[in-house]
């Protein structure tokens, strides 16, 4: 991975995002891109580096079943009753055992800060992976809750979202993974509302480097517009990449028919009205709702993304995913290069 130096100025620091960088192509010895394996190998199991975002319109039971064969994790979201979330976990657990996917897919679900129904206590026995899902997790309450969960949960604990090295260091001995990304989601308006956030490449550099020091891996969450952004995140050292908008509009997402697939930020006005009955007076919405076009089966989306990762690996010159971050070099590009990156034949006329 490239070495990055930033100004020591405490007020203004230069940070980059996905559109600001390109991966430098390397020398490849692979005879075919099919020699490249876009999966993590853990003992005798293989897991995709892609995780479907725990958003209410896409982390459905149908979605989890549709992408299980591809090794993709779908954490069941917490913006539903404990009973409904528990039923999803139980049904998925039974389904994957019946289909003999037990060696390839983990059961995952999200919890928030302390809830009256004690969601964590009721679902933990069905979870291989638990997400402590907080919009911004670098605060006393979130860290204390993570500590409480860690004491009675033996599975993999993910805490998010954070965006800085300090936040990752604070979670040493508590979290196994952190979700990195603040204000960069496709339906998120946090940066517009609060003025806060970090460009995603800069955030990943900070979090990955800090994570190496304290034994915490990183999930890159948000900001992904293209499959190439997923490859860039993996080159930067992210272990997984959480993707939301790419699965919005798929057959397994929530919606009616082929022309009304909804994707929305969970801090949007619509989502909060659904939860609370009205928008609380003390809340400024930090997201939007969007109607997206129908995309077909989610399994096909995953297959295309895996193919893109494989092709990116071939261009870097590696055949194993664990070698990607060690052998890639990222380059800062100009605004003109950003234009050159996309189809531009029509601009000539």
Catalytic residue chosen out of the listed positions 13, 24, 103, 275: 275
Domain membership flag for residue 349: no
Domain membership flag for residue 212: yes
The reported pLDDT for the residue numbered 4 is 46
Residue 129's alpha-carbon distances to 60, 154, 290, in angstroms, are 16, 9, 29
Name the E strands within the chain: 21-23, 40-42, 45-47, 50-52, 108-111, 129-133, 156-162, 177-180, 217-221, 240-243, 255-256, 260-264, 289-292, 330-332
Domain membership flag for residue 249: yes
Structural domain that includes position 246: 27-330
Pair of tokens at residue 265:
């930020």
Pair of tokens at residue 1:
């991975």
Domain membership flag for residue 340: no
Sequential pLDDT tens for the chain (349 residues): 444 444 455 556 789 999 999 999 999 988 889 999 999 987 678 899 999 999 988 999 999 999 999 999 999 999 899 999 999 999 999 999 898 877 878 999 999 997 777 899 999 999 999 999 999 999 999 999 999 999 999 999 999 899 999 999 999 999 999 999 999 988 788 888 999 999 999 999 999 999 999 999 999 999 999 999 999 999 999 999 999 999 998 999 876 655 667 776 666 656 666 666 666 676 676 667 777 878 899 999 999 999 999 999 999 999 999 999 999 999 999 999 988 998 877 776 6
Query: CA neighbours within 13 Å on the CB side: how many for 107?
Result: 21
Q: What is the strand order of the sheet 289-292 is part of? A: 255-256, 260-264, 289-292
The reported pLDDT for the residue numbered 290 is 72
> Annotated catalytic, 36?
no
Domain membership flag for residue 235: yes
Nearest to 179 by CA among 216, 234, 219, 146: 219
Kindly report, residue by residue over 205-231, the tens digit of the pLDDT. Answer: 999 999 999 999 999 999 999 999 999
Rg (CA), the chain: 20
Which bin fits 159, alpha (ψ -120 to 50), beta or left (φ > 0)? beta
Catalytic residue chosen out of the listed positions 127, 188, 207, 235: 188
The reported pLDDT for the residue numbered 256 is 60
The reported pLDDT for the residue numbered 103 is 84
Domain membership flag for residue 37: yes
Pair of tokens at residue 294:
């129908």
Residue with tokens 């930067």: 236
How many angstroms separate the CA atoms of 238 and 218, rounded? Answer: 5
Residue 127's alpha-carbon distances to 81, 105, 327, in angstroms, are 17, 11, 34
Nearest to 146 by CA among 155, 232, 137: 137
How many angstroms separate the CA atoms of 61 and 102, rounded? Answer: 16
Nearest to 288 by CA among 189, 184, 183, 185: 189
Domain membership flag for residue 128: yes
> Annotated catalytic, 188?
yes
DSSP 250: B
How many angstroms separate the CA atoms of 113 and 132, rounded? Answer: 8
Pair of tokens at residue 216:
């915490």
Domain membership flag for residue 3: no
Which bin fits 335, alpha (ψ -120 to 50), beta or left (φ > 0)? alpha
Nearest to 150 by CA among 233, 216, 54, 85: 216
Nearest to 75 by CA among 42, 39, 118, 106: 106
Residue with tokens 């404990």: 82
The reported pLDDT for the residue numbered 5 is 47
User: What total of structural domains would you count in the chain?
Assistant: 1
Which bin fits 43, alpha (ψ -120 to 50), beta or left (φ > 0)? left
Q: Residue 89 sits in a domain of what CATH number?
A: 3.20.20.70
DSSP 183: S
């Amino acid at each position: 991975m490239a070495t990055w130096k930033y100004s020591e100025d405490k007020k203004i620091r230069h940070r980059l995002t996905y559109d600001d960088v390109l991966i430098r192509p390397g020398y490849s010895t692979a005879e075919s891109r099919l020699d490249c394996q876009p999966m993590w190998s853990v003992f005798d199991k293989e897991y995709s580096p892609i995780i479907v975002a725990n958003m209410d319109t896409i982390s459905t039971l149908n979605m989890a079943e549709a992408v299980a064969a591809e090794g993709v994790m779908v954490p069941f979201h917490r913006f539903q009753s404990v009973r409904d979330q528990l039923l999803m976990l139980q049904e998925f657990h039974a389904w994957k055992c019946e289909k003999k996917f037990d060696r390839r897919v983990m059961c995952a679900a999200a919890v928030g800060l302390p809830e009256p129904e004690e969601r964590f206590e009721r679902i933990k026995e069905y979870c291989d992976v638990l997400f402590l899902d907080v919009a911004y997790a670098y605060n006393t309450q979130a860290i204390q809750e993570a500590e409480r969960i860690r004491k009675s949960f033996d599975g993999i604990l993910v805490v998010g979202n954070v965006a800085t090295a300090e936040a990752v260091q604070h979670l040493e001995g508590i979290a196994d993974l952190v979700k990195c990304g603040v204000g960069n989601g496709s339906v998120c308006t946090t940066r517009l509302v609060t003025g806060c956030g970090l460009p995603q490449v800069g955030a990943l550099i900070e979090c990955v480097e800090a994570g190496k020091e304290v034994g915490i891996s990183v999930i890159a969450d948000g900001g992904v517009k293209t499959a190439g952004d997923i490859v860039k995140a993996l080159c930067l050292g992210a272990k997984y990449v959480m993707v939301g908008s790419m699965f919005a509009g798929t057959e397994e997402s929530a919606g009616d028919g082929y022309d009304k697939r909804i994707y929305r930020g969970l801090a949007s006005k619509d989502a909060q009205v659904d939860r609370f009955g009205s928008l609380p007076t003390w809340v400024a919405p930090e997201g939007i709702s969007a109607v997206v076009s129908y995309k077909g089966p989610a399994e096909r989306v995953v297959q295309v993304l895996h193919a893109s990762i494989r092709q990116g690996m071939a261009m870097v010159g590696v055949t194993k995913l664990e070698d990607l971050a060690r052998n890639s070099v990222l380059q800062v590009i100009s605004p003109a290069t950003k234009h050159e990156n996309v189809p531009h034949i029509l601009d000539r006329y």
